[in-house]
Structure 1
């Protein structure tokens, strides 16, 4: 079937008010009415204006039609309604006495999108349009993902103003973020999307989780990585030290002769979940920032007694 540009048919902008749409229709109806205009094509123009007004003159039908966009994908010849149109939009018959030609002669485009009772079962007798699903991104600190949190988001949703125009309005949505969410995860919040029209159900809100950069931790899936600074003697002698985790400080044992870059695994200390992630402490050997004469003497003694070449295996 062909896509119908109802705004073009009435000669109005997509931002036109309901009163402007009504005036445009009445002007065309008077001009092309079969009783006053017998020119070729006048009857078709009259029916085209009536079909356009049957949609744009109805707030719920207009709101649904506007969701297709000015140039919907698949527009023109071969246009097909979205696959979920039957589930999202519910329309009643045009009110008796609305004027215009007999809508039994309306196009396939109208029949497939706006005719009640001629399509799948489940249409109601009320004019209803389901709200749109909405998508948003929420940026979390690691601590919020680890423990869970509540956020208040500001969303924009389409609503009809007093003049009958479809406008975007801000609304606040409180959402609960469960603990253990992963970066890139999508959270579906049923009924938190755009409100419906005419008592139709609200859409759903889909949140994509993103993590803010953290000064201490790096995240890979459910696993958490942290650079753990150790002194040269701690790496050489080993021993138990304290280190931070998102759940608080814990003790960890550094093995003797530990190497820079060596990973210590703390099982189950990553992000919570049915299968909790792990925390990996990556050893980073750090020299003292300053040394005094006594410390310098110790280093000189080490150099004499240990006598090893750390660059022995380098290729030149």
Structure 2
């Protein structure tokens, strides 16, 4: 009995020591620390440096957190069906969050509702206009009507400086029909409305594309050779108009919206007159930060407005990278 008791005691000591050691397995971590966070950013396309700059900033911010920020975008900003498919694919993969800059608000609502049903938080960037359906955690972007209004006020002053009065011929280059085009063009038209001497020659869609805007502006000059100013709802279209002006040997003002890095260089060189800078890099950073707050259980604002500013040759150096 004594030998048995002694053996029992020895075994008990061994088990006790093992229990105090560091080799005992611990339960796996839970929450975001257990698995890399994956966030999908879905753009209308990457044909504009606006969206490229925004995504790069979001990815840089995500890298600081150890997150994976995936960029998805159709080939063109008219391909809303492909954008819907991309959101649905992210839902099937059960990513942690999705942020969308929708081509068409009505088309994207079904995919947003699918994400809602899967418990995936959805965010909208580059727009403050609520979707008609589906739950969106936060809208991050600038006041697009205000941006258009700033461009209109600036345009009116350019024409006054040219003629000594608020008069001249203006041509509008529109994006794809939808909230972005409506808000920006409405703001511009509201700003010039008090000046009946400013004539709007035409309003033509160029679908956010530089080449299409160049072709449209070239045709516009054939119909109306004395156009004074082109207002484009995006920088890419303003650049297209500027190219048409040069090739036609004409002189006209060009104003866009975005403040893209390549447009800033064109402004510096006198190719494009001005742009309403909307700071896409800052928008990307703020969007990712808003997503982080939501995933960590912090309250977020339903609308997060980002800054805007008119940029021309007098202040473009403020934004140009050294």
Q: Could you say which TM-score interval applies, normalised by the shorter chain?
A: under 0.3
**TM-score of the aligned structures, taking structure 1 as reference length:** 0.24
* Greater radius of gyration (CA): 1
Structure that is richer in helix per residue: 2
From the two aligned structures, give the one with the greater strand fraction: 1
**So what's the TM-score if we normalise by structure 2?**
0.24
